[in-house]
Every structure is written in C-alpha cells, then in structure tokens.
Structure 1
Amino acid sequence: MSDSRDRLPAATRLGRSVLTVSDESAMVAFYRDVIGLSVLSRDGSTTVLGAGDAPLLELRHAPDARPRPTDAAGLFHNAFLVPSREALGAGLARIRDRWSLTGASDHGVSEALYLDDPEGNGVELYWDRPRSEWPRDGEGGIQIGSWPLDLESVAAAADDGASDTVPGGTTLGHVHLEVSSLETAREFYVDALGFDVKTASPKALFVAAGGYHHHLGCNIWNDRSSPAPADARGLSRLDLVVPSSEDLDLIRERLEDAGAAVDERADGLECVDPDGIRIRFRAE
C-alpha cells in the first residue's frame, strides 16, 4: 500500500493502451513488424499485442471510425520502453527497413525514436539510462532535456542479426496526451489521482509515481479544445496498475472526493479524465 494516502504507490505502472482503429490489418502489421510487438490474442474485432506474455497495446477495430478532429484532445504518443540500448538499436533497424522516423532525441534520462503509425497516432520507442546517470538540478530534481540523438551510435549498438521483436521486459513506459487544459489535467492527475509533478512548464506537464521521470505527459502545444467524439480513431483507454486492492480503495476515495464518477469493473475501477479518456485501474 502507498506510504501516503494522497499519492500513488511507488510501484504504480502503466498496463496497456487501447486504440480505436479503422484499418485493423495495417495497424496490426505496423505494431508487429515495425515496433516489434507480438500478437498475443485476436478475438473478433480486438487484437492484443505485447512483449513476452505482457499485453501492452489493444487495437479495437471500428471500420467506420473517423480521424480525430484537429481541435480534439487525445493521444500525442504511446511510448514503449525497451530494456537496453541494444534493443533500441534493433528497433531503429526495423524502422529504417520498413518505415520512417519523424524524430529522434537524447533526453538525458533516455534516448528516444519517434514515428507515426498508419492512422497518425504518435509512437515513441525508447530506453532509459540508469537512474544514477539521470541529470539532476541543484535540488535533486530530474532534468529532462532534448538534444540531437546520435542515430549511428544507436544503430551500432544493435546485436548482429537484430531481432524482429522487442525483448521480454519491454513495457508501456509512458503515455503522452494532448489536453485541453493543463490546469484541469493537473487537478485530475496530480491533486486527485495522486501522481507527482516531475517537470512543468507553461505548456507541458510531466507526472510520475515512484521517482520515475514520467509516466504521463500532458501538453497544450497544439491548442486542443474539446474531447474527441465517441466515433473517432485514437486513444480510448489507458490502464494503470497498482500493487494492491487497498491502493484501489484509496484511488476511489480520492477521485470521488474530487467529484469524479468511478465505476466498478470486473478487474478494478474505471473513470473518465477531463478530456474524455477512460482510465482503468487494477491491482497486480
């Protein structure tokens, strides 16, 4: 259970991200062949992909789903965290062979590759440097920067015969959202839910549990002003995993005290964030 009743426990992590997609075949092929996730199950209109036996991404096929309106909040990117620089080098090889990058950055805490999936959802593939090497400010706070990434050095790190799949231990490291208001996002994710602020600026907020650099990013860079409609493609749900049922009880108390509606699910709780994204909570 958490050491403090108003904060998320240190072992909190992301579970899976759920996307509504219209071209199931193209999306499955991208996340399998380019990102390197494995297909874990297919059931009717739903495909689950992951690493090892851990589900990280759920694709829900809705053939009539339309693109998210340009003024609607939603996903900026899903970020898949691989366990080594060698695995990131293998990912770079797959991307260069089968797709194209939209960007790449050295963030000090991590090295990251950026691309878009076939329906325009942002994707990040990254690895973390050891926590002991993360840049810190004078008060010990984490400093996340953005510098050019030496792509050839990352490529050279790949093992000979680089794998077509991400290794076991790959996780959904963080999710970055485009929100309509940083103030309301902070009220929900920090004040009510219990994340800690790691980095904040006038147009972006990064929050985490357990001293991580960020589990969730929120930005207002593109002036999103409304929730996405129910029939839009893109992010429909995030899963957050906490250690115990006692932690779920505390989450329920905090959210209900903040005026959020919390629903029971067979495997936990669910609520909706200020921009209409469903958040599901479950215990390990």
Structure 2
Amino acid sequence: MVINSKTSLQEVLEIIKKEGKTVGLVPTMGALHDGHLSLINFAYSYCDTVVVSIFVNPTQFNNASDLEKYPRNVNNDAGFLKQHNSKTIIFTPDVSDIYNDKVEAESFDFGSYVDFMEGEFRVGHFDGVGSVLKRLFDIVKPDKAFFGEKDFQQLMVVKKLVKITDQDVEIIGCPTSRNEFGLAQSSRNFRLTDSELKVAELIYKALSKAKKMFDNNSIKEIENEIVNMFKDEPAFELEYFSIVKENDLIPTKIKEPKQNYRAFIAAFLGEVRLIDNMALNY
C-alpha cells in the first residue's frame, strides 16, 4: 500500500491502532536495498504494522550536488517492498506535508553527539535529520522507530531527539546489514561501479583491523595503521578515522577501563562518500 498524504496515512493508522495493533516506523530516503529490508524485517519482530517513509529530506544535505544526485525512484522502491513484504505501508509525503511553507531546519542541542565526525564535516546535517524525524514522528505516531547502526552517530542523535521533544516513541537500533565482503549496505553503493565496489571493501577491512588491534595496541598505533592502509589505496581519500567512547562520541587518545569504544570512518571513493563504524571491545 502506497500512501501519498499525511491525512490519508493517519486515517489508515487510526483504524489499525483502534484494533490494538502496534505500529513501527522505518524512515528512509528511498533507493531501497537489502539493508532497508533487514530493518523492516527487524521492525516486524516488534510491531504488527510497519510504515516505511520515503522522503528525500532537503534540510539534511549540506551539499546541493549530493541532494541532486541522490537516487529517487518510488515505483522501484514500491515494487521492491511488494516483492518482499506486501503488507508494509509506504508513506511518500510531499515537502509541504513535512515542512508546510517553511523548508528549513530547526536547531537542536544534541551536545557532544554532533561535535565530531559527521557533525564536524557536515555542519547542520543533524539539525536537518532532527527536523524531519520530529515531524515524521508527529505524523505517524509510531510505537517504535528503527534505525541501522551503520549510522550509529545518527542513532544516538535520534535517541537524544525524542528526549528533547518528549515524543512517545521508542528508538531501536538494528545491526548493520553487510554484503558478503563486509561492505555496509547503503543507497550510495548504487553509484559505485563493480570495480569500485571491490575497492570499497577496504572500509570493512580497516574497521576489522582496528578491532583486532584494539586490545594490544594504543589508539595512536591503530590510527596510524588505518591511515597507512588508505595511503596504499590511491582510489580512496580518507576523510576521518576516529575512535570514540560510545557514551559521548568524543574522540579519545587513551583507553579507559569499563568504557565501550567504537571506530568511525568516512572516505571518498571517487565522488561517492562512504561511512561506517564498528564496536571495538564488545
């Protein structure tokens, strides 16, 4: 079922909720792939009904070219979901449904969650994410919303968002879906050639190397090793590699006891920017 307006969606969901059924939301920007399907299947393990929103959010792109090149094909996305799970509700709102007449991002105080990594290199990005999700949560009023751990920084931001806005929705993180070589599933992968997809495996290899080294090497040694791995692959341009404490997402140089650490990476392969992350000590 494809629904284009928020009024129609709310009418359908009102009936579902009156029947005592739980509703899950999987927010997407389309270009659906197996990673999204993994999220949707995960959502069905918690909820009776799942809404998949498809909306390319203009306020979270700080690069106009990225927004223009982002793949869009709602018919393909609907066909993909119908093939795998025909009962899923697809919500494809217009910009006016989300932002009315004022297409701009709100400002949120996400604290240290947005000071580094994506927040540093994509200034304002998370205000855009928060703005669209706040509105989607208001429209759908889901019991639970599901986000992949590939965007772990975003996951932490969204959990902070619902505290700031006091919205009654549980945020659930889902394991990263990867291909057979470890590359995280992403809509941006569609822009890579077959040979570039092979090169892109370096991201997973680098994260796995960092995890393997974590117990017996200093953070500086790990960082040097990862930087050198990318220097040996000229097709890649490493933007950042950071090891952070999960509780605050602040890059650290010293390992502390009883802390969970995670490595984050962003790199350009040609014009395509890829990100990923991995838990290091659990």
In which range does the TM-score fall when normalised by the shorter chain?
under 0.3
User: TM-score with structure 2 length normalisation?
Assistant: 0.25
Q: Between Structure 1 and Structure 2, which shows a larger proportion of helix residues? A: 2
Query: Highest Rg: 1 or 2?
Result: 2
Report which structure shows greater RCO (CA 8 Å, sep ≥6). Answer: 1
Q: Between Structure 1 and Structure 2, which shows a larger proportion of strand residues? A: 1
User: TM-score with structure 1 length normalisation?
Assistant: 0.24
